[in-house]
């Protein structure tokens, strides 16, 4: 299958600290790492490693961070022909603090991501499409309107969107806080809605009715950054392959669990063999 991902591309600066700071608090003793990230790029790489052929549409700056941000997409043969270089805005950056249990705090400076405008999109987007909310809302809305096939919208971070988008999406993925933000609006269309529950797994609804649920295998979390994006890429691949709702949730929960056991967003993303192995062993 060939999937198009329209989304953000960042370079992540990750500080692994003894604890996460409270408001006004300084925490010392951290170590710093740099990894490619961005919800769009993470989901693109996750789908690619799990068996899809992925085309990425996004934007980076004309700076030294762009090469790092794109490195793993290129290494895994994601098609980056739709990624433009912006001369006026820097590559997006995420500042991430992670504690020993894998919990994190994230601040994003969008940079070039907020300059991905509808004019950058093809007139028609053929094949399956995955989107998130780290781009301008008008660009997300335009992409959905130009899609001709399966559409997955990861409504993260939560922001107001049109009822038309919610009705058009074949799959909506949200976490618990995002689900609370949108409320019953999520269920007005006929598509499937997945609510991720962290270590408790995930649930799938259709027209407000629970149709499937799954729990992840037990793992030791190291860094949850990117685990949710891994889930999105995985469930799209599984559903597009024709897996049942329950099997697709199980597959995606397993992929996300593996991602949480490793540091960094994109470096943590598993291969297909790793996901199948943990499902079989658990």
- Residues with a known catalytic role: 229
Strand partners, 171: 152, 192
Query: Phi and psi at residue 174, in whole multiples of 5°?
Result: -140, 160
CA–CA dist 41, 265 (Å, integer): 10
Task: Quote the CA–CA distance of 96 and 176 in Å, as a whole number.
Answer: 21
Rounded CA separation 222/226 (Å): 12
Residue linked to tokens 């499902």: 279
DSSP state of 90: P
Determine whether 271 is exposed, middle or buried from the number of CB atoms within 10 Å of its CB (0-12, 13-18, 19+): middle
**Contact, 255 vs 232, CB < 8 A?**
no
152 near 171, Cβ under 8 Å?
A: yes
Residue 254 to residue 45: CA distance in whole angstroms: 16
Backbone angles phi, psi at 256, to 5 degrees: -65, -35
Question: Positive or negative, the Cα torsion across 85, 86, 90, 93?
Answer: negative
Q: Which two tokens stand for residue 174?
A: 């949200």
On whether the CB atoms of residues 72 and 257 are closer than 8 A, the answer is no
Cβ atoms of 83 and 9 closer than 8 Å:
yes
Q: Would you call 271 helix, strand, or coil by DSSP?
A: coil
């Amino acid at each position: 299958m060939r999937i198009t991902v329209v989304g953000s591309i960042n370079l992540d600066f990750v500080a692994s600290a003894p604890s996460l700071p409270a408001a006004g608090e300084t925490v010392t003793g951290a170590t710093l790492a740099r990894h490619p990230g961005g919800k769009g790029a993470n989901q693109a790489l996750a789908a690619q490693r799990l068996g899809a052929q992925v085309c990425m549409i996004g934007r980076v700056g004309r700076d030294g961070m762009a090469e790092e941000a794109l490195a793993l997409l290129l290494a895994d043969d994601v098609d980056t022909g739709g990624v433009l270089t912006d001369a006026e805005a820097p590559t997006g950056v995420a500042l991430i603090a992670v504690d020993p249990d894998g919990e994190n705090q994230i601040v994003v400076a969008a940079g070039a991501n907020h300059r991905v405008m509808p004019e950058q999109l093809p007139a028609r987007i053929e094949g399956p499409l995955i989107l998130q909310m780290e781009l301008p809302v008008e660009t997300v809305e335009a992409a959905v309107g130009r899609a001709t096939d399966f559409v997955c919208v990861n409504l993260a971070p939560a922001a107001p969107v049109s009822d038309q988008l919610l009705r058009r999406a074949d799959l909506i993925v949200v976490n618990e806080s995002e689900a609370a933000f949108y409320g019953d609006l999520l269920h007005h269309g006929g598509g499937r809605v997945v609510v991720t529950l962290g270590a408790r797994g995930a649930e799938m609804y259709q027209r407000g009715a629970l149709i499937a649920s799954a729990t992840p295998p037990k793992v030791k979390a190291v860094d949850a950054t990117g685990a949710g994006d891994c889930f999105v890429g995985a469930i799209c691949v599984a559903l597009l392959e024709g897996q049942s709702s329950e099997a697709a949730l199980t597959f995606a929960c397993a992929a996300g669990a593996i991602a949480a056991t490793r540091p960094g967003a994109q470096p943590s993303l598993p291969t297909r063999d790793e996901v199948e192995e943990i499902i079989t062993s658990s």
